[in-house]
Amino acid sequence: AQKITQTQPGMFVQEKEAVTLDCTYDTSDQSYGLFWYKQPSSGEMIFLIYQGSYDEQNATEGRYSLNFQKARKSANLVISASQLGDSAMYFCAISGYSTLTFGKGTMLLVSP
């Protein structure tokens, strides 16, 4: 079984600052993928970034980067230069060869 833990129910950040959203995981699979999705108030699930368990380098996608520490089983999302439009719910998820298992999410609020 796979499990995702997101310990921060809510985070506040000022515009243009960086913020880190925490995610730890548990899995017995040797190969797995870690994903972050953004869910704005409109409700859709937007894929942000992927990290493979065998990837040696941290994933980056524009202002998003993933701080992957395999030994600690953590996959924290770093958003640089926060924008007002980044205010949303953020979900970390893990995939084996089939389904996605999600965490409970972190609500990020970006203030001017």
Give the CA distances from residue 86 to residues 19, 31, 104, 108, in Å, rounded to whole numbers and listed in that order. 11, 30, 18, 7
50/64 with CB nearer another protein: 50
Smallest distance from another protein to CB 43, Å: 5
CB of 17 to another protein, least distance (A): 27
- Give CA–CA dist 42/39, Å, rounded: 8
Q: Which is nearer to another protein, 82 or 106 (CB)?
A: 106
Of 61, 39, 63, which Cα lies nearest the Cα of 50?
Answer: 61
Nearer to another protein, 30 or 112 (CB): 30
What residue ranges bind another protein (CB under 8 A)?
Answer: 29, 31-33, 35, 37, 42-47, 50, 52-53, 91, 93, 95-105
Half-sphere exposure of 52 (CA within 13 A, CB side): 6
